[in-house]
Amino acid sequence: MIIALPRFSQIKNTLINALLLGNKSTPELWGILTVYFVQGILSLARLAISFFLKENLGLPPAQMSALTGIAALPWVIKPVFGFISDSLPIFGYRRRPYLILSGVLGSFAWLMLGTIVDNLWSATVSLLLVSVSIAISDVIVDSLVVERARKESLGQVGSLQSLTWGTSALGGVITAYLSGWLLQRLSSQTIFIITAIFPLIVVMVAGLITEKSVNQNCVNKISSRKPSVKQQLQELWKAFKQKSILFPVVFIFIWQATPNAESAFFFFITNELGFGPEFLGLVRLVTSLATLVGIGIYYKFLKTVSFQRILGCGILISSSLGMTMLLLVTHTNRVIGISDRWFSLGDSLVLTVMGEITFMPILVLSTRLCPKGIEATLFALLMSILNLSGLVSHELGALLTKWLGITQTNFDSLWLLVIITNLSTLLPLPFLCWLPATNLRTEEP
């Protein structure tokens, strides 16, 4: 009896299909995934930025938190980049040239950080330019993802979001430990110069995006004419004021806008606990791997669970687990025999997994809220509101840090900041009914 063995091409196609979570492999999809991958790779400089602001520029915790919020401003105005891309084609194209522009601008901004930045204002400008470059590329690929995601069946719901978010997380995994290891051996400025190489990859893959020149449709101007900015704004307002869209967005904003203790905690673990760049790189590696685990758990087991249930339970669990930071802040972990380093690794692992499990539904929900016809623009607006909540979170954290008197050397009130920030995440729970009771269906392709 002859046993037919699968051909290599069949095995390859099966592996690619599994790798892409069932999404059809096309050059454009690989180009989109590459852009997300580069966004993850750019986290190579994340630790370098924190240490540069802390040590080279001498910023205190509150000021660092405020600057972090300001640097996120371009993400708040993402719809503006979408409008510009739609309304002002470059050489007849609305997507490819803007990806090229974002890559060039990003590379220039990182080079600025690595060479001429030596004060707070120049650092602010450079970080803003970095954010602008990433936000432009992100709004382009997000629009393409939304268009594809609307064609998913209920069985495939969330697969594309999981794939793109996972690709970005994979880039973060690759550079996580390396970011600390390099910073232990090189200056922050040198790492910025190395990072300047990666935005150029976006320039190289821009040609993979499938796009027809707007000039090709000149023969049929009426059918190909895009709605004006005024019409798009009217459609946006008409959709946004619907309770089915407005209420979930307000819920998400309230939740994500609660204050955080990120900057104060960074100063605590570096100044008080003495964690160096290499160990922090290891922590980032653990959290990056945990991100992939969280995405995998959501896609495998939770993608069809109702938004009310998964976000309600997720908020309660995350808030409870977040209180474990008190053990580290009060050094109680040492009393029970757990070293600071091991406790930090374990705590980061658990909190990150839960964080991703609760964040993935937000991405899926945002996609499902977008009515057909304005999905790309409305999705960009929803993501901007989400980013605005992050900015508010950092600024509120900065105010609390300042109000509690937490500085580079004084962490007496850090325990109170941890309690306030964790309890505040429970604020949106009374409005859980604003979320859809069941997972939303889309039209079958």
Q: Which of 36, 112, 155, 79 is nearest to 384 (CA)?
A: 79
Half-sphere exposure of 30 (CA within 13 A, CB side): 10
So what's the pLDDT on residue 219? 41
So what's the pLDDT on residue 214? 66
So what's the pLDDT on residue 76? 85
pLDDT tens sequence across 107-165: 999 999 999 998 989 999 999 999 999 999 988 887 777 766 655 544 454 567 677 87
Q: Which of 198, 144, 162 is nearest to 375 (CA)?
A: 144
184 neighbors 53 (Cβ within 8 angstroms): no
86 neighbors 73 (Cβ within 8 angstroms): no
CA angle 235, 236, 241 (to 5 degrees): 105
CA distances from 391 to 73, 260, 394, 397, 417 (A): 7, 10, 5, 10, 18
So what's the pLDDT on residue 383? 78
So what's the pLDDT on residue 107? 96
Listed by start position, the domains of the chain span 24-211+230-434
62 neighbors 401 (Cβ within 8 angstroms): yes
So what's the pLDDT on residue 104? 96
So what's the pLDDT on residue 373? 59
Which tokens is 158 given?
Answer: 């969330």
> Which three-class secondary structure state does DSSP give residue 310?
helix
pLDDT tens sequence across 34-88: 999 999 899 899 999 999 999 999 999 988 888 888 888 888 888 788 778 877 8
Q: Distance from CA of residue 252 to its chain's centroid?
A: 15
Which tokens is 28 given?
Answer: 């454009």
384 neighbors 360 (Cβ within 8 angstroms): no
CA distances from 200 to 84, 93, 175, 191 (A): 22, 19, 17, 16
So what's the pLDDT on residue 221? 46
Which is the CATH superfamily of the domain at 24-211+230-434? Answer: MFS general substrate transporter like domains (1.20.1250.20)
CA distance 125 to 73: 11
- Give every residue of the chain whose pLDDT is below 50, as ranges: 1-2, 4-5, 153-155, 157, 218-224, 440-445
CA distance 160 to 146: 9
Which tokens is 86 given?
Answer: 């739609």
So what's the pLDDT on residue 159? 67
What single DSSP character describes residue 52? I
Which tokens is 181 given?
Answer: 């290891």
CA distance 142 to 138: 6
